[in-house]
Amino acid sequence: MNRKKISIVLSLITLLIFQSCAQKQNSMTSDDHTYNALNKEEERVIVNKGTEAPFTGKYYLAKDSGLYLCKRCDTPLYSSSDKFNSGCGWPSFDDAIKGAVKETPDLDGHRVEITCNKCGAHLGHVFKGEGFTDKNTRHCVNSISLNFAPEVENAKTDTAIFAAGCFWGVEYHMQKEVGVITAESGYIGGHVKNPSYKEVCTGRTGHAEAVRVIFDPNKTSYKKLAMLFFETHDPTQVDGQGPDLGNQYRSEIFYLNDAQKNTALELIQILKLKGYDVATKVTATSTFYVAEEYHQDYYESNGHMPYCHRYTKRF
């Protein structure tokens, strides 16, 4: 094959590769079955990592109470309670909703990009050490990357608290359930104020490792989450789960109202009729203490899978 023919073939291959990449990019940015539709300017910022002009965004000086959501996938990202005016020209937040935002250093090493942890939408950049607030952090976010849910909508959430062994595995499974907004590891049911992980591990504080789940009742239900609780651990094991032994690893539901209590007892009765010797306790909720930061999103942060929690259909 002469050089001219080789050149033509290489050009055709390059064209096909370019078209394939373009088609893949288009499917990623316009798949309205997965993400919300974006206009050209929104796509420039959210998908192609652009920046809107300072002092032009609709949320720059907004002060209403509520939640700021990812425009691409509607995931809650920031609370208005963490918003402040830094004077930079873009909405500023000194914290994000736990697990909602991912931080990635730019290739130039000068800045840290922030993206939606669910869909990868570009939000802006995070800066630390500026001293604007006590948290010493500024999430500088493009308004165009956000939607806003006023507090009246934000109020449509509910809470559930489950203990089922190591809280890492419980949190892992709960976070994956549709309708769950956040899942937070912590301690509950003991007699020591503000216990540390080291203290709880002794088994002498009376606390159970537990997970507090905030969910949208329009997308899931307490009953569905309670069923998931029973199907992702062994509810027949007493004071332990798998190799983790001790009363801090007990199976227990902490109910917030009579409706939750009745649902838990109903599910336990169903399991007993199926032959399960259920050891799960059902207890009125008490003070929930959030666990140390390194326990939050443990499996997601470390790239591992739960070692003593797996799904087993029981209902």
- Give the pLDDT score at 307: 76
Do 193 and 121 share a domain, yes or no? no
- Give the pLDDT score at 209: 96
Both structure tokens of 261: 């209590």
Domain of 141? 40-152
- Give the pLDDT score at 154: 54
Domain finish residue from 152, 184, 216: 152
Is residue 187, in this structure, part of any structural domain at all? yes
Phi/psi for 21 (5° steps) reads: -65, -40
Task: Show the CA angle centred on residue 230, arms to residues 243 and 284, nearest 5°.
Answer: 100
CA–CA dist 25, 98 (Å, integer): 29
**Which residues are designated catalytic?**
140, 166
Name the domain count of the chain: 2
Q: What is the pLDDT along the chain (315 residues), one digit of tens a residue?
A: 544 444 444 444 344 333 333 333 333 333 434 688 888 999 999 999 999 999 999 999 999 988 999 999 888 999 999 999 999 999 999 999 988 999 999 887 789 999 999 899 999 999 999 999 999 999 999 999 999 988 755 557 899 999 999 999 999 999 989 999 889 899 999 999 889 999 999 999 999 999 999 899 989 999 999 999 999 999 999 999 988 999 999 999 999 999 999 999 999 999 999 999 999 999 999 989 988 888 888 777 777 777 778 888 999
The answer to whether the Cα torsion of 244, 250, 255, 261 is positive or negative is positive
Do 136 and 184 share a domain, yes or no? no
Its pTM stands at: 0.57
CATH of the domain at 96: 2.170.150.20
Contact 192, 199 (CB under 8 A): yes
- Give the pLDDT score at 153: 54
Do 121 and 199 share a domain, yes or no? no
- Give the pLDDT score at 254: 97
Do 124 and 251 share a domain, yes or no? no
Do 132 and 162 share a domain, yes or no? no
- Give the pLDDT score at 251: 97
